[in-house]
Chain A
Amino acid sequence: MRVRVEQTALPGIGVRHDLVTTSGRRLGVVTHRNGRRDLVLYDPDDPDSCTADIPLTDDEAEALADILGASLMLGQLSGLRQQAAGLLTEQVSIPAGSRYVGRRLGDTQTRTRTGASIVAVLREREVIASPDPTFRFEAGDVVVVVGTRQGLDGVTAILAETDPDG
């Protein structure tokens, strides 16, 4: 996790921070004395020179930091999942014969009955984050559930219930 960030003074201009990624690319930020900052990417063939020198406004730098920070948080959350004892995440697919195919998420009443939460649905490589109770399932959907072992088993059982009419 420790990354070596090199700091270099640029007399008369400001300061440069740069680092080498695991994949071998060097990138950095040049911070000017007057507050301007540039994102710089280095040439893989000539690691001393930068191929791109991208000036970022305050807002752009903040937005970029947010995006990078958010992806970092997601990564940390998935790490947390393994640390929090007893709390698990599982992906449960909805079988074609399930009675909930074409019905709403609210109808399953999974949270009331098992204590586990459906936090996302994966459909054809798309992620539908935090679906609301009116969300309609389709056959082949994969449901991401967070809960205790018992809760997760309960949800699996509910979603596997076959349609009494079918």
Chain B
Amino acid sequence: MHHTTVLLIEVGALLLVLGLLSRLSRRIGLSPIPLYLLAGLAFGHGGVLPLSASEEFFEVGAEIGVILLLVMLGLEYSASELVGNLRAAAPAGLADGLLNALPGAAFGLLLGWGWVGAIVLAGVTWVSSSGVIAKVLADLGRLGNRETPVILSILVIEDLAMALYLPLVTAILSGQGLLGGSIALTVAVVTVVAVLVVAIRYGHVISRMFSAQDPEALLLGVLGLTLLVAGLAAGLQVSAAVGAFLVGIALSGPVAHNATELLSPLRDLFAAVFFVFFGLNTDPRAIPPVLLPAIALAVVTMATKVLTGYLAAKRVGIALPGRWRTGLALAPRGEFSIVIAGLAVGTSLVNPQLAPLATAYVLVTVVTGPMLARLPDFAWFKRWLRRQAARGLPPAAATE
């Protein structure tokens, strides 16, 4: 058969499968991310039914998928929100980084993957999944809860921290060592600060380049600018994903709102391609040997995430049940962990076991995380919390 014909059949069949999987995940109230990863494992090298002709398509598609994930993330926040949030939530963000990145790094060193592997694993375990958590909060009707701003501001800080972390990792993985890494980090810091300042002062000027009313021109314009900036950023070793994130932040007002609506279907398509591609590139036979370490890592870092949320909520005066809700909601890792692991795949500096480990790790946290988030709604959990609260209080106050 002609190459293009095979390509169409493979891509079409796979997208159809993804569509059905997405429907299934909605039916059982789960994020579709684990199912996309599993589909990728099944159809990749060493899987049940290896696909070959469409590899190039999925490779480019996955690249676009990361960029779209990040630009949409940037569009969700306004620059002033990011900066305003920074001061108030910085201690919580710092605790989040220490409590969750360090176990990952320690684990990497323990496995003997060297300091590069440790830095990559630190990123994988650090960042919660904004997409999964926002959906869980909406599904459980918790957007009005008083601990929700605490959760959201931790996510915001993590996303901002990624704007500094990704260029560092990109530089280190490209073999530039610590010196190259620190140069990339400096460039990234300057760029991020410059973009934030420009976005706060002149966000409306950048947004005026586009017409919010003309969907076609807006879609092409925003997508074009995003890919262009992402490409330039990658050229400067600042990581394409960060460039896209900054474009998202710089856009504001009705342009940002309409662009979000126009880009959402594209993001859904290419993000699915991205998760599948990660699965495609991972040999499922490599997973069983790293399954136990992955589960151990998941248990430890989910516990530290719960602690992070608990402390952050306590700091702003949220009561006991709210602290547990904050901690448990933060547990799922997702797109960012895969993005970071994706950067490391294929470079000789990192142990080849990292990709299967990251896949298994994300599978575990993204499936169990949203389930754990429901715990505080169960009656037995509330009873247990009441007993805890009663024990901590003087008898007179507890009898109320």
Q: Which residues of A contact B (CB under 8 A)?
A: 8-13, 16, 18, 28, 30, 33-34, 38, 40, 42, 46-50, 52-53
Interface residues of B, CB < 8 Å — how many?
Answer: 28
CB distance from B310 to the nearest CB of A (A): 13
- Indicate with 1 or 0, residue by residue over B117-159, a CB within 8 angstroms of chain A CB atoms: 0000000000000100010000001111111110011011000
Chain A residues closer than 8 Å to B144, beta-carbon distance: 16, 18, 28, 30, 38, 40, 42, 50, 53
Residue ID in chain B nearest A35 by CB atoms? B257
Pair B321/A9 contact, Cβ less than 8 Å: no
Given A11-B81, A12-B130, A13-B152: A48 touches B145 (CB 8 Å cut-off): yes
Chain A nearest Cβ from B102, distance in angstroms: 25
Please determine whether A10 and B322 come into contact, CB atoms closer than 8 angstroms: no
* Additional pairs, 6, CB under 8 Å, beyond known A16-B143, A28-B144: A13-B143, A46-B319, A46-B321, A48-B318, A49-B325, A53-B143
Closest 8 CB pairs of A and B: A40-B144, A53-B141, A48-B322, A50-B144, A12-B76, A48-B146, A11-B156, A11-B152
B181 to chain A, nearest CB (A): 29
Q: Mark B304-326, 1 if CB is under 8 A from A, else 0.
A: 00000000000000110110010
The reply to whether the CB of B395 lies closer than 8 angstroms to some CB of chain A is no
CB closest chain-A residue, reference B130: A12
Q: Inside 8 A of A18's CB, which chain B residues have their CB?
A: 144
Partner of A48, one of B76, B130, B257, B321: B321
Does B84 interact with chain A (Cβ within 8 Å)? yes
Residues of A within 8 A of B153 (CB): 11
User: Can you give 19 A-B contacts (C-beta < 8 A)?
Assistant: A11-B81, A11-B153, A12-B77, A12-B134, A12-B152, A13-B143, A28-B144, A30-B143, A33-B257, A40-B144, A42-B146, A46-B382, A48-B146, A48-B318, A48-B319, A48-B322, A48-B325, A50-B142, A53-B144
> A38's contact among B76, B143, B146, B325, by CB below 8 Å, is which?
B143
CA distance A18 to B82 in the complex (A): 22
**Which of A34, A38, A49: most chain B Cβ within 10 A?**
A49
Residues of A close to B143: CB separation below 8 A = 10, 13, 16, 30, 38, 40, 53
A contact residues around B130 at 8 Å (CB): 12
Question: A46-B321, A48-B318, A48-B321 are contacts. A12–B141 as well, Cβ < 8 Å?
Answer: no
With A9-B81, A11-B156 as known contacts, state yes or no: A50 contacts B318, CB within 8 Å: no
CA distance A8 to B85 in the complex (A): 11
A72 CB to closest chain B CB (Å) equals 24
Roughly how many angstroms separate A46 CA and B146 CA in the complex, as a whole number? 10
From 61 to 106 in chain B, residues with beta carbon under 8 angstroms from any chain A beta carbon are 76-77, 81-82, 84-85
**Is B141's CB under 8 angstroms from A10's CB?**
no
Q: A9-B84, A11-B156 are contacts. A50–B141 as well, Cβ < 8 Å? A: yes
In the bound complex, how far is the Cα of B82 from the Cα of A52, in angstroms? Answer: 29
User: Once the chains are docked, how many angstroms separate the CA of A10 from the CA of B155?
Assistant: 11
Q: Please indicate the chain B residues that have their CB under 8 angstroms from the CB of A47 in the complex.
A: 146, 319
* B322 and chain A: residue at smallest CB distance: A48
Give the shortest distance, in Å, between A105 (CB) and chain B (any CB): 50
Least CB distance, B141 to chain A, in whole angstroms: 4
Contact of A8 among B82, B149, B155 (CB under 8 A): B149
CA distance A107 to B149 in the complex (A): 66
**CB nearest to A54 among chain B residues:** B141
B147 nearest CB across to chain A (Å): 6
Nearest neighbor of B89 in chain A, beta-carbon distance: A11
Residue contact A49 to B322, C-beta cutoff 8 Å: yes
In the complex, what distance in Å separates the CA atom of A60 from the CA atom of B205? 36
Could you tell me the distance in whole angstroms from the C-beta of A50 to the nearest C-beta in chain B? 4
Cα(A18)–Cα(B257), bound, Å:
25
Residues A49 and B145 in contact, CB atoms below 8 Å apart: yes
- From B76, B81, B142, B149, A49 is in contact (CB under 8 Å) with B142
B residues near A13, Cβ cutoff 8 Å: 134, 143, 152
Q: Which residues of B contact A38 (CB under 8 A)?
A: 143-144
Give Cα distance in the complex from A72 to B76, angstroms: 37
Would you call B321 and A10 a contact (CB within 8 A)?
A: no
Q: How many Å from the CB of A38 to the closest CB on chain B?
A: 6
Q: How far apart are B58's CB and chain A's nearest CB, in angstroms?
A: 29
Residues of B within 8 A of A50 (CB): 141-142, 144-145
Residue among A10, A28, A47, A48 with the highest chain B CB neighbour number at 10 A: A48
Which residues of chain A have C-beta atoms less than 8 A from B148's C-beta?
10
Pair A9/B142 contact, Cβ less than 8 Å = no
Q: How far is the CA of A107 from the CA of B322 in the complex (A)?
A: 67
Q: Is the CB of B149 within 8 A of A12?
A: no
* Whole-angstrom CA separation of A30 from B146 in the bound complex: 11
Alpha-carbon distance between A48 and B84 when the two chains are bound, in angstroms: 23
Contact A12 B156 (CB under 8 A): yes
Q: Are B81 and A48 in contact (CB under 8 A)?
A: no
Contacts of B81 in A (CB 8 A): 9, 11-12
Contact B155–A12 (Cβ < 8 Å)? yes
Complex CA gap A13/B76 in Å reads 7
